[in-house]
Amino acid sequence: MTELSQTALLHELEPVVAKNLDRHLSMAKEWFPHEYVPWSEGRTFDGPLGGEAWSEGDSTLPEVARTALIVNLLTEDNLPSYHHQIASLFGPDGAWGTWVGRWTAEEGRHGTAIRDYLTVTRSVDPVALERARMVHMTAGYTNSHDSSMLRSLAYVSFQELATRISHRNTGRITGDPVCEALLSRVAADENLHMVFYRNLLGAALEVAPDQTMRAIAEVLEDFQMPGVGIEGFTRKSVTIALAGIYDLRQHRDDVVAPVLRQWDVFNVAGLGAEGEAARDRIAAHLGGLEQAASRFEEKRDARAAKLAARA
């Protein structure tokens, strides 16, 4: 089967983008970051204004919540890199271009809101946060899907859902209803983003089934969260997984499996040999994830039991 070029795919999917853009705009609720930040709790910091420096005791959030918030915020901060990637792939024209702009504007709100909250509530060290942002954004973000629209669409379908879950669960463990409300609001946006990309890739499965199936397989086999470039990411992601904010079980059961189910991947008809082979890889990957998730859960349980015994 001949492959569709990027240009042909853009053209084929344009009406689907237009329809889902309309859907998105009708579903998305306007909201204002400033309404989610408890400004009256804020105090001037040291430096040019001569206020009080941040100290460890200022933060009332659990350590793990702070770690997750920093990872989530730095992830949002790399928006220029993500914009560059999708703007390069989708182009500035028509519904594609409108989506790129709208999506970017919505994502921009997330970083603004979370940073304002963290700064006003003195939840994290603002100097360390700013330094981490400089390092992270200077490095920027690229992934191995930059050159392929289908791989990028598959990646963001999973990634937006992963981000939704991560924000929502982070909110829950902060123990702060204000933060939880903010992160639930952000998570609701991420869910709509996921639906947009998921619908688009679902249409691609009809237009170019073999090519799209291969893209899904490749993305799953090589999946990394967009925060992977954050300093100490491995250590931080273990902390986040141990706290049940985002772990392999959630990745498999709440992200990968439901998206595959929505695409009805295992019942797509009319695949050629290449598509069938890709689908087998997807099934094998799911099996591998199941094993890895169970292993992780056993280890986490054993660790919890050991800690409980010590206490």
Minimum distance of Fe ion from residue 13's CB (angstroms): 19
Minimum distance of Fe ion from residue 195's CB (angstroms): 11
User: Does residue 110 bind Fe ion (CB under 5 A)?
Assistant: yes
Only one of the segments 14-22, 66-74, 91-99, 193-201 lies at the binding site for Fe ion (rule: CB under 5 A); that segment is: 193-201
Cα–Cα distances (Å) from 22 to 17, 55, 99, 202, 207, in that order, read: 9, 47, 10, 17, 21
Instruction: Please identify which residue in 77, 107, 125, 210 interacts with Fe ion, judged by CB under 5 A.
Output: 107
Instruction: Please identify which residue in 193, 198, 236, 285 interacts with Fe ion, judged by CB under 5 A.
Output: 193
Is residue 74 within 8 A of residue 133, CB to CB? The reply is: yes
Only one of the segments 152-160, 216-224, 243-251, 303-311 lies at the binding site for Fe ion (rule: CB under 5 A); that segment is: 152-160
Only one of the segments 114-122, 146-154, 155-163, 274-282 lies at the binding site for Fe ion (rule: CB under 5 A); that segment is: 155-163
Measured between alpha carbons, how far is 184 from 174 in angstroms, rounded to an integer? 12
Is residue 171 within 8 A of residue 182, CB to CB? The reply is: yes
User: Does residue 125 bind Fe ion (CB under 5 A)?
Assistant: no
Minimum distance of Fe ion from residue 309's CB (angstroms): 40
How many Cβ atoms sit within 10 Å of the Cβ of residue 157? Answer: 27
Minimum distance of Fe ion from residue 78's CB (angstroms): 10
The interface with Fe ion within residues 7-26 (CB under 5 A) comprises none
Three-state SS for 122-135 is CCCCHHHHHHHHHH
Is residue 132 within 8 A of residue 70, CB to CB? The reply is: yes
Only one of the segments 55-63, 188-196, 223-231, 238-246 lies at the binding site for Fe ion (rule: CB under 5 A); that segment is: 188-196
Measured between alpha carbons, how far is 61 from 58 in angstroms, rounded to an integer? 9
Size of the site for Fe ion (CB under 5 A): 5
Phi-psi region of 5 (alpha: psi -120 to 50; beta: other; left: phi over 0): beta
Is residue 150 within 8 A of residue 215, CB to CB? The reply is: yes
Minimum distance of Fe ion from residue 167's CB (angstroms): 8
Minimum distance of Fe ion from residue 189's CB (angstroms): 6
Q: Which is nearer to Fe ion, 114 or 217 (CB)?
A: 114
Residue 225 Cα to chain centre, angstroms: 7
User: Does residue 190 bind Fe ion (CB under 5 A)?
Assistant: yes
Residue ranges that bind Fe ion, judged by CB under 5 A: 107, 110, 160, 190, 193
